Amino acid sequence: MSQHSGSGVAAAQERTGPKTERGRRTLRRLLDAAGEEFGVRGYHETAISHITQRAGVGLGTFYVYFKSKEEVFKALVADMGARTRHALSESVKDAPNRLEAERLGIQAYLEFVRMHKSLYRVVMEAQFVAPDAYRAYYRTFSDAYRQQLSQAAKRGEISDGDAEVRVWALMGASTFLGLKYGVWEDGADVNAVSEAAADLMINGLAPRAKNGDAS
């Protein structure tokens, strides 16, 4: 899954708060605190007071930026998507071709998940708590990803194919790789996992001739 921490904040800022640097810092603190609280407690067990206490702001400040717990949760999902896309974009910007970008993207995604486990849980919970935000999270990913694959096919870096189906298949693989090797088994060798996953994405499951095998 290959693709600014600031863009998620900016989107929420336009909707709910002032555009000053101080306002952006406060919003960032609220989103970070919400991510930790939702990630540890889950949506239903988290209270707005938990978020404001962790952020070190008053309850009134929360309502300057968000109308409800549901709104901050949705903003957090969007922010998580923006931050993930930024991390992936940075990781693949110097890749010489699309196939190498795929390998680098998997590695960067696993590393990002390990650093943001609570936010990963938030995105997973969103499918039940805020399904519209959950779908938007993946649609935004897929739109950019589809363009990248289509452009790579035109350049001859990958074969032609249904970019829409490919994108959702690749995103599905990345999602569960992140769950297993980013959250459940965070001691696994990221390089080895990304190499194995990239091999599958690049070469598929079809048997290949072994060394010395002319067939």
pLDDT tens by residue, 72-90: 999 999 999 999 999 999 9
3-state secondary structure of 205: coil
Residue 90 structure tokens: 């940075």
Residue 142 structure tokens: 């897929």
For 176, counting Cβ atoms within 10 Å of its Cβ (0-12 exposed, 13-18 middle, 19+ buried), the class is exposed
- Whole-angstrom Cα distance, residue 93 to residue 76? 26
* pLDDT over 70 at 40, yes or no: yes
**Whole-number pLDDT of residue 110:** 96
- Whole-angstrom Cα distance, residue 125 to residue 40? 12
**Whole-number pLDDT of residue 27:** 95
For 118, counting Cβ atoms within 10 Å of its Cβ (0-12 exposed, 13-18 middle, 19+ buried), the class is middle
CA distances (Å), origin 83, targets 188, 192, 201, 203, 209: 23, 25, 24, 30, 41
Confidence of residue 152 (pLDDT cuts 50, 70, 90): very high
Tell me the domains of the chain and their CATH numbers: 5-203 (1.10.357.10)
* pLDDT over 70 at 214, yes or no: no
**Whole-number pLDDT of residue 45:** 98
The whole-model pTM stands at: 0.85
Confidence of residue 14 (pLDDT cuts 50, 70, 90): very low
**Whole-number pLDDT of residue 213:** 59
Give the mean pLDDT of the chain.
90
Lowest mean pLDDT among 17-21, 31-35, 59-63, 149-153: 17-21
- Whole-angstrom Cα distance, residue 15 to residue 132? 17
Q: Once rounded to an integer, what is the mean pLDDT over residues 171-176?
A: 95
- Whole-angstrom Cα distance, residue 111 to residue 202? 21
Lowest mean pLDDT among 5-19, 46-60, 70-84, 134-148: 5-19
CA distances (Å), origin 56, targets 6, 16, 106, 174, 202: 21, 19, 35, 35, 48
Per-residue pLDDT of 117-139, as tens digits, reads 988 899 999 999 999 999 999 99
Q: Once rounded to an integer, what is the mean pLDDT over residues 145-149?
A: 96
| Phi/psi at 206 (5° precision) | -65, 140
One-letter amino acid for residue 103 of the chain = R
Per-residue pLDDT of 61-72, as tens digits, reads 999 999 999 999
One-letter amino acid for residue 123 of the chain = V
* pLDDT over 70 at 29, yes or no: yes
Which DSSP category does 181 fall into?
Answer: I
**Whole-number pLDDT of residue 18:** 53
One-letter amino acid for residue 137 of the chain = Y
Give percent above pLDDT 90 in the chain.
Answer: 84
**Whole-number pLDDT of residue 72:** 97
H or E stretch covering 73:
helix 69-92
Q: Once rounded to an integer, what is the mean pLDDT over residues 160-186?
A: 95
